[in-house]
Each structure stands twice: as C-alpha cells, then as structure tokens.
Structure 1
C-alpha cells in the first residue's frame, strides 16, 4: 500500500516528528540527510537514523531483510530495538535504524564487487518470502505523478520506452542462478565503518530474481557514464566473478537502468531548477542510444 497524497518535505517532516514522539526520540537538532524515494533523518545525538518511506510493504520487507542479514552475520544496517516496525503515520511507514558511524574513504570497485559476491552467496531466507523481482516497478506510478509537470510528448516517449523495455526484459536468458538480490546495489548504498568494515544499507528493493541485475550496476556506471575506469572495472569483475558487459542481454539491462535512474530523479522535479534541468537532459539523451551520458550524480 502506497499513500496517494504528495510526498513532500513538509509532510515527511511532520511524519518524522510524530513518529519520533511516539518512539520517545528527541528530534531537536535532527538533520534530514536525504530526500528522494525516502526522507531520511539523523538524530542529533547519533542514536538513530529514521526513514520515512512511501510504501508500507517495502518498509515491512526492509525490517525482515535486516533481520535475515543479521542472522547470517552479514555486515549491514540494523533496526533499532524497541517498538514494532514499521510505524505508520499519515499513511507513510517509518522505520528506525541504528546509526552507523561512517569513514568517508571511498568504496573501491574491488571492495564493492567482493561485498556483492558475498551477498549473493548467502543462503536464502526461510522465514519470509521475498517478492519476485520486477525491473521497473515504480515507473508506472511515477509517470502518473508527472502528469502536468513534464510535456506530454516526453511522457508519451517515457511510456513507450517503458513498454518496449518491459517486453525485451521478459525475453532475456540469464546465465547466473536466480536468488535474493538487493535491487539497488551501488556504492552509495554501502557505508564504511571507522574500522574499515563495509555495511550494506537500503533494503526496500530486495527481491528474488536475476543476480545480473545487481552485478550490472557498476557495468552501467563504467560503460555508459565513465564513472569507473578500465582498471577499476577490471578489479570489480575480478572480485565479483562475472562481467555483465560480455553478456548479450546487457544492453537491455543498461537501458532499463537508465530509465529507472531518470524516473527516480523525476520524483523531485519540483524541488529545484537543477533537478528539472537534469531530468529534461536525461529524457533527451534516452531518445538517442548513442548519445554520451554526461549525467550528474544526485
């Protein structure tokens, strides 16, 4: 279930404050550290990170996945003990997490490849069932929400692209065995602790499906955007054990990820002129498969 009311900074702030009051947490001096698919806040005393989400089922799954990862001693974010989660306020789910101290040393491609390899080697969860993977589950509602905010010609193009890629994705043959996948695995969803441990975060897109989806993230960043050098990419594939770029289905995964990246950013198209300009640029680039992808990171 997802709320139909707008997911705004004002609404999420009110939900955050109400949820913290219920949980007995002090919001004085709290900082909002991210606003996108979720609104994420860090309490001033460092006792917790609070996530205000859009989907109650997704938030419920996050809590279950966190428990599964903890049971398998996999380094990852953990939920705050205490009240049953998620807490729901104004139709939005709220989850509370132990705050991870972070070392800002960048995550290397080789480290990311090893972490992803280890994640995909875990035994499947037995006390809950992950949803079946869908490559673009949020595109349709985001298209609906964009009516009146983008030109009709752009919306028509995005819908046609979505329908085309949905069909092509169904025809793919995957060489890796299916299993639990993170769904949004990229270095930004990994935090390094001061002792060097890498911790996986953000579990709302976890699903059961093709491992190639996770494995291809850095491949897209390397081939499409140049965000990883040849040497860095080679170290990644050596650590993970598979090179998605050499797989015939990779172009479909790349195009699908580019569409998802564009639609993710479109959620906040009204937040700033910078975001609006970037969304327009991405849509223009999607019309030409050969166009260089000089996209900004948000």
Structure 2
C-alpha cells in the first residue's frame, strides 16, 4: 500500500475528484494503486484507471502519452487502450490526467517470458512519425531542478553522475540499434487483455531509442531486486541477453540513475518512499551491490 502524508492524500483526492468530474466519472470508490511519478487510481465499477500528475512536466507527458496511445491502438500494438469517449488528456487545475481501460495485472505467476511477446511486437515496428527521441537526461535535469527533500550533496552527486553518463551514452549512439522503445518495460507494467494477449502500460517513456534498453530494465531488476528468473526468462524468450552487449555497463548505469531520480521531486511528502530512496542512493554512491526495496 502506498503511504502518503495526510496533506498529500488530501491534495490527490481533491485532484482526482476534479478530474473525474471533468471526465464524467465518479471518484467515490477509487482505489490508489501507486504514487511515484504519477498518482494512479483504479475505478472498478466504471472499468477504468485514472493516472495523473501536476505541473508542466506532467502536462507535456500527458499530451505525449495520449498521442502515442492513439497511434499504438491504430496499429494494434500490444499496449493498454485509452478509455473511449473522452477527450484526452483530461485537465483540472494544474493537473493533467489520462484515463485507461481497466485490465488484469499484477499476477505473481507472470515472468519475463510473458514480457517478451509484447516487446517483440513493439520492436518490430517502425516508430510513428514525429515521435520524440529517448532522452532520460533531460528528464533527469528537470527532476533535479524540482527536487524537494534531497540534500545538497546528493543533488550535486546525482547531477555529476548524470552528466558523466550522458557523455558515455552519446559515444555509444552510432553503434546502437534504434527503434520503437517502451522505456520502462518491466513486469509491473504488464497487463493482460480479456483475449489473453499481454500488453504494456505506462507509456511516458515511449520514444525512438536503443531497443536494448527495454531489456536492460529486467537485467537491472535481477541485480537490484533479485528478479533473476525474470531476466533469464526474458533473455531466453527474446533470444538476447543484454548483459553480453558492449553497451550494457552504460545502459545499466542509466537505469540505476533513473531509479534513484524518479521520485526526488516530492520526497518531503512521502516519508516511506524517502527511506527507500535514501537506501538506493547510498548503495549506488558507495558502489555496493546490495538489493534495493521497491517503491510502494
């Protein structure tokens, strides 16, 4: 269960109520699924999921996601669908929301083998015209600029790490296979349609980028969360072990930095996440190979 301060809980419920009113939905029976970069609520009786964030970055991402989701649906890509009949994104005050069809997810029996099928479907497609280039570095700079609850020393360290890693990545780009990238392809973003087809959700990172990064996510999860079988199953089903590629060390570092930068804009209001974040950052700074806890 995601733990929020009373102030943050009140703020998110106010936002959800306003968003639902704009969309013609009822928010009374909403269930919070998670809150990291975005708040995600399930509305079971209405068969939808509402996902929203605040500010300019959230607005840009919601516009991007709504456009990408429409293209993915038009091309029958294995991805979650926007809820029909709504103009999206849905706007309320400084919040931007997208509303999605509610699908089955979170089955503990699912492994990297189930993840391989939708990824192969994504990676064989030519990306939509005008799709943005993968750029975790600009996103990191934006989050660092908005950091709240991060010490000055940690802020400086992360800034330096991102700069060094960006330089290393730029040197690799000519040798990387680029294509339609999901950007956060892990089992937690896997859903299943009533037909049995597995699809991906959380389209914020969808871009033109190095296809290997979609496999790096599981490989880093093996190292940092102990999900070794998921990585092995994905590597077998996809027929590529990303840890054997020359780009692996740099792409691994990017993923680890993403996992310690994603929540820094609101650590002050999320004490439980702040504790998990502090452990992740400390082990990354020290070079320790300790397992991390997941954000909840």
Which residue of 281, 289, 292 maps to 1:292? 289
Of residues 266, 277, 288, the one that matches 2:264 is 266
Instruction: Please tell me whether residue 109 in structure 1 is matched to residue 103 in structure 2.
Output: no
Give the drift of 1:182: 0.8
Q: Which has the higher helix share?
A: 2
Cα pair distance change 1:233/1:282, threshold 3 Å: closer
Range 95-104 or range 258-267, more displaced: 95-104
Q: Contact 1:103–1:192 at 8 Å: present in 2 too? A: no
By how many angstroms is 1:293 displaced? 2.9
1:103-130 residue CA offsets vs partner (Å, 9 max, x unmatched) = 724321122123212211123324xx21
Structure 1 residues 233, 150: closer, same or farther in 2, change over 3 A? closer
Q: Which deviates more from structure 2 when the two are superposed, residues 244-253 or residues 271-280?
A: 271-280
Q: What displacement does 1:268 show? A: 4.1
- Does the Cα contact within 8 Å between 2:112 and 2:233 map onto a contact in 1? yes
User: How far is the alpha carbon of 1:56 from its aligned partner?
Assistant: 1.8
Larger RCO (alpha carbons 8 Å, 6+ apart): 2
- 2-structure distance, mates of 1:270, 1:187: 28
CA distance in 2, matches of 1:254, 1:189: 19
Map of 1:138-149 to 2, 5 A cutoff?
Answer: 138-146=139-147, 149=149
Q: Secondary structure at the match of 1:167?
A: helix
Alignment of 1:79-98 (within 5 A): 79-98=82-101
Q: Aligned pair 1:215/2:215, yes or no?
A: yes
For structure 2, list consecutive stretches of 5 or more residues without a partner in the other structure.
1-6
After TM superposition, the score normalised by the length of structure 2 is 0.87
Q: State the match for 2:4 in structure 1.
A: none
Q: 1:59 to 1:85 in 2, by over 3 A?
A: same
- In the alignment, which of 238, 249, 252 is matched to residue 251 of structure 1? 249
Instruction: Note the alpha carbon deviations across 1:164-219, whole angstroms, 9 max, x for none.
Output: 11111111146553111111111111113465431211111111111111121111
Which residue is equivalent to 2:134?
Answer: 133
Q: Distance in 2 between matches of 1:189 and 1:169?
A: 25
CA distance in 2, matches of 1:112, 1:13: 33
RMSD (CA atoms): 2.3
